[in-house]
Amino acid sequence: MTDYIERAFEDDGKTSPVSPKVALLGLSKVYGALGRVKRLAYEKGVLEAKRLPAKVVAIGNLTAGGTGKTPMTLFAARWYRQKGARVVIVSRGYGGSLSKRGAVVSDGDVVFLSPHEAGDEPVMMAEQLPGVPVVIGSDRVAAGMEACDRFRPDVVILDDAYQHIRLARDLNILLADASRPFGNGHVLPRGPLREPLSALSWADAVVLTRAGDGAAGDFLSHLSGELKSRAAALPVFASSHRVSLSDGAGTPMTPDALGPAFLFSGIAKNHAFEEGARALGVSIAGSRFFGDHHPYTEAEITALEAQARDCGASVLLTTDKDRVKVRTMTTMPLATISVSIDFGEDLSAVTSLLDILLRP
């Protein structure tokens, strides 16, 4: 059934009277209606968002799956740090055993929790952002208050929080994959949208990831009517993903120095990881892919290494997110492909937007 739903995400939205897609469509309409009611309750003041004693920037998307939220979060955190601001990242901690309770992953100097406890992305961000504390909690209000009480930040960055409107924000940045920003246009479970497209109107800016020339115009072409006019008034920034190779110690390396590699990953878009490896010129001996946030076991890594050796690979190649989970299990050399966000000509406009939160 899971495979069927994933295929349904990719079609053109047409349904057949005898197709199970009709049932998914019905569920989507219910899910979408609930999302609209929730937003409306906050718009009309029936529900009131909680405000933190710090400026808050939320980074998120409308669709399930990877759009590059983590590279954007890393970019924003580093930029604010360079400006001398005290920054804390608050994340749900998806997949972590302490997500429901909430916990401090890092105080900016020491990483206290494992990926099993905190989730893979918070640990990865904590390791890559010295000086930036990371706090997790499925209750973002409680996690945000903990972050402010403990670290007194100037700016709190909410990772993957576009739908978490119970916590007020000063800047709402929406990410969308330029190649297919809204999937088939349907809300879960019939499509990949987490909520109806009308939620786009809550954004202060849109960042298109994996974007080429003319991406902003292509993005607007997916919209119509009042929503299109609202979106046309938003700043829309184009960005691309820049990939780089490094060894197990984080030292940059070339594809030639890497040698034949066995690829593996457990992210939302494994094909993008493989495409990045090919773009770098990596010699790919074989590959194996898993679902997003996959909890690797010792047995799986042992089997994966055996498969890699059978393929003639001399090194395992994975993502930063997967590396933090498997590095204590591997016996073969382990290298990573890192992804960063590149705004090109839009860089100045993006940093000007972020700078709004630092103004008196």
User: Do 228 and 281 reside in the same domain of the chain?
Assistant: no
Position 147 in a domain: no
What is the DSSP track for 228-266? HHHHHTS-EEE-EEEEEEE-TTS-B--HHHH-SEEEEE-
- Residue 14 marked as a ligand binder: no
Position 108 in a domain: no
- In three state form, how does the secondary structure of 164-218 look? CCCECCCEEEEEEECCCCCCCCCECCCCCECCCHHHHHHCCEEEEECCCCCHHHH
User: Do 253 and 274 reside in the same domain of the chain?
Assistant: yes
Q: Please tell me the predicted confidence (pLDDT) of residue 105.
A: 99
User: Do 178 and 209 reside in the same domain of the chain?
Assistant: yes
- Residue 66 marked as a ligand binder: yes
Among 331, 297, 359, 338, residue whose Cα is nearest residue 85 = 359
User: What tens digit of pLDDT does each residue of 277-295 get?
Assistant: 999 999 999 999 999 999 9
| Domain span at 198 | 55-85+154-239+343-358
- Residue 279 marked as a ligand binder: no
Position 257 in a domain: yes
- Residue 70 marked as a ligand binder: yes
H-type helices in the chain, by residue range? 2-10, 21-43, 69-82, 115-118, 120-128, 140-151, 215-221, 225-232, 255-258, 270-280, 298-310, 320-326, 347-355
Q: In the predicted model, is pLDDT for residue 167 greater than 70?
A: yes
User: What tens digit of pLDDT does each residue of 333-350 get?
Assistant: 999 999 999 999 999 999
Position 211 in a domain: yes
Q: In the predicted model, is pLDDT for residue 227 greater than 50?
A: yes
311, 285 Cβ separation under 8 angstroms: yes
Between 6-10, 189-193, 251-255, the lowest mean confidence (pLDDT) is in 6-10
Between 70-79, 107-116, 183-192, 281-290, the lowest mean confidence (pLDDT) is in 183-192
Beta strands in 44-101 (DSSP E): 55-61, 87-91
Q: Please tell me the predicted confidence (pLDDT) of residue 180.
A: 83
- Residue 84 marked as a ligand binder: no
Between 46-50, 55-59, 142-146, 248-252, the lowest mean confidence (pLDDT) is in 248-252
User: Do 248 and 310 reside in the same domain of the chain?
Assistant: yes
User: Do 275 and 329 reside in the same domain of the chain?
Assistant: yes
Name the range with the highest mean pLDDT among 34-43, 74-83, 174-183, 185-194. Answer: 74-83
Q: Please tell me the predicted confidence (pLDDT) of residue 33.
A: 87
Q: With pLDDT > 90 as the criterion, what percentage of the chain qualifies?
A: 76
Mean pLDDT confidence for 140-156: 99
- Residue 251 marked as a ligand binder: no
Read off the pTM: 0.91
Domain at 228, CATH number: 3.40.50
User: Do 316 and 347 reside in the same domain of the chain?
Assistant: no
Position 117 in a domain: no
User: Do 280 and 331 reside in the same domain of the chain?
Assistant: yes
Mean pLDDT confidence for 314-323: 98
Tally of domains within the chain = 2
Q: Please tell me the predicted confidence (pLDDT) of residue 218.
A: 79
User: Do 198 and 72 reside in the same domain of the chain?
Assistant: yes
User: Do 191 and 271 reside in the same domain of the chain?
Assistant: no
Q: Please tell me the predicted confidence (pLDDT) of residue 159.
A: 97
Q: What are the CB-based long-range contacts (under 8 Å, 24+) for 329-336?
A: 329/296, 329/298, 329/301, 330/301, 330/305, 331/305, 332/305, 332/308, 333/247, 333/248, 334/248, 335/245, 335/246, 335/247, 335/248, 335/253, 335/258, 335/261, 336/245, 336/246, 336/248
The phi and psi torsions of 340 (rounded to 5 degrees) equal -125, 160
User: Do 75 and 163 reside in the same domain of the chain?
Assistant: yes
Position 145 in a domain: no
